[in-house]
């Protein structure tokens, strides 16, 4: 009997597909063989002696103490691609939120509820106040061409954007999934200087912390619009605040609300919703539990 501990709610429908007579899957097990988790932060958790594997139901592994796991021989899995469509769809919504004052317009329209006969005139005022720009023909720079970045690049291109991409580590398999209209750019400076919109689709690691900093803002065009649905820590928030105040950045749309910039009028934030769809949650849960099951049962290490 293997014991798998879940540190976040895992879709029950997915779990019922497993041969549960050989597994105990519960939220509290003192000595688990494996742990399956979503966003739970394990950095301050002592690893149980019995632990052989951790599976992160998601792409980013910044909530897992990788060094400690390596030292103790604990295998770490993630679920690359399993939630990529969910995140891609929210990034595309982000592109539109960055272009049209949808969030601001929705909030403002609610204030009209008790305005009675004044509503038609107020709508005319709203039309002027919330005028936006179109994305067709604009240049989107995609930083990070992994599973999510490739989907975003192709979808944005289908919406009429010029798409350029940068990724120092892209593998041939990912590159082949790119539409041939998506242009690779070799240097980050060249990429940033061309972008009307920028989307970050890279993991947060010690190397990428504050990746978008004062120096990189200096390489960008004025009025650039930035989408961050990857991790909050990729952007130096003090530098971002200055860039938003100076007009270098026209809008920052993010899945990671932070008090430093949250109240600024050109910031739109949602609460880490990228992978929060029924489909993505089920895909990630299924992949994570299957990886752990294959490893505990047969010793197979397959990170897909």
Query: What residues make contact with ligand MLT under the rule CB under 6 A?
Result: 38-39, 58-60, 83, 272, 274-275
CB of 227 to ligand MLT, least distance (A): 15
CB of 228 to ligand MLT, least distance (A): 12
CB of 207 to ligand MLT, least distance (A): 17
Q: Which two tokens stand for residue 132?
A: 């936006």
Non-local CB neighbours of 142 within 8 Å, separated by 6+ positions: 149, 152, 153, 156, 163, 164, 165, 166, 182, 199, 201
CB of 38 to ligand MLT, least distance (A): 4
CB of 77 to ligand MLT, least distance (A): 13
Of the pair 63, 266, the CB lying nearest ligand MLT is at: 63
CB atoms within 10 A of CB 241: 16
Nearest Cα neighbor of 181 from 160, 196, 202 is 160
Of the pair 59, 69, the CB lying nearest ligand MLT is at: 59
CB of 173 to ligand MLT, least distance (A): 19
Alpha carbon 30 to chain centroid, angstroms:
32
CA distance 124 to 268: 24
Of the pair 90, 135, the CB lying nearest ligand MLT is at: 90
CA distance 159 to 178: 15
CA distance 188 to 206: 19
CB of 270 to ligand MLT, least distance (A): 12
Of the pair 35, 275, the CB lying nearest ligand MLT is at: 275
In the block, which residue shows the tokens 């928030």? 237
Of the pair 59, 244, the CB lying nearest ligand MLT is at: 59
Of the pair 248, 272, the CB lying nearest ligand MLT is at: 272
Of the pair 79, 99, the CB lying nearest ligand MLT is at: 79
- In sign, the C-alpha dihedral spanning 243, 247, 252, 257 is positive
Nearest Cα neighbor of 60 from 42, 38, 43, 75 is 38
Contact yes or no for 185/163 (Cβ under 8 A): no
Q: Which two tokens stand for residue 138?
A: 């604009």
């Amino acid at each position: 009997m293997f014991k798998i501990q879940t540190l976040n709610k895992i879709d029950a429908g997915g779990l019922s597909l497993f041969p549960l007579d050989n597994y105990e899957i519960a939220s509290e097990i003192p000595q688990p063989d494996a742990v399956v988790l979503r966003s739970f932060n394990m950095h301050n958790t002592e690893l149980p002696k019995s632990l052989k594997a951790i599976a992160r139901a998601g792409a980013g592994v910044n909530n897992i103490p990788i060094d400690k796991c390596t030292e103790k021989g604990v295998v770490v899995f993630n679920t690359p691609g399993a939630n990529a469509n969910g995140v891609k769809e929210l990034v595309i919504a982000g592109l539109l939120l960055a272009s049209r004052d949808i969030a601001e317009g929705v909030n403002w329209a609610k204030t009209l509820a008790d305005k009675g006969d004044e509503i038609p005139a107020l709508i005319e005022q709203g039309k002027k106040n919330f005028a936006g720009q179109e994305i067709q023909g604009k240049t989107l720079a995609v930083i990070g061409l992994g599973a999510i970045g490739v989907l975003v690049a192709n979808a944005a291109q289908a919406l009429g954007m010029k798409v350029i991409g940068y990724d120092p580590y892209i593998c041939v398999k990912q590159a082949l999934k790119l539409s041939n209209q998506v242009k690779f750019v070799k240097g980050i400076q060249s990429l940033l200087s061309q972008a009307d919109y920028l989307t970050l689709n890279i993991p947060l690691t010690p190397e990428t912390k504050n990746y978008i900093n004062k120096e990189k803002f200096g390489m960008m065009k004025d009025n650039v619009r930035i989408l961050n649905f990857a991790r909050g820590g990729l952007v130096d928030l003090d530098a971002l605040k200055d860039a938003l105040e100076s007009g270098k950045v026209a809008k920052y749309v993010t899945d990671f609300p932070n008090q430093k910039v949250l109240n600024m009028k050109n910031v739109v934030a949602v609460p880490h919703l990228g992978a929060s769809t029924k489909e993505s949650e089920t895909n990630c849960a299924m992949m994570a539990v299957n990886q752990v099951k294959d490893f505990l049962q047969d010793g197979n290490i397959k990170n897909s």
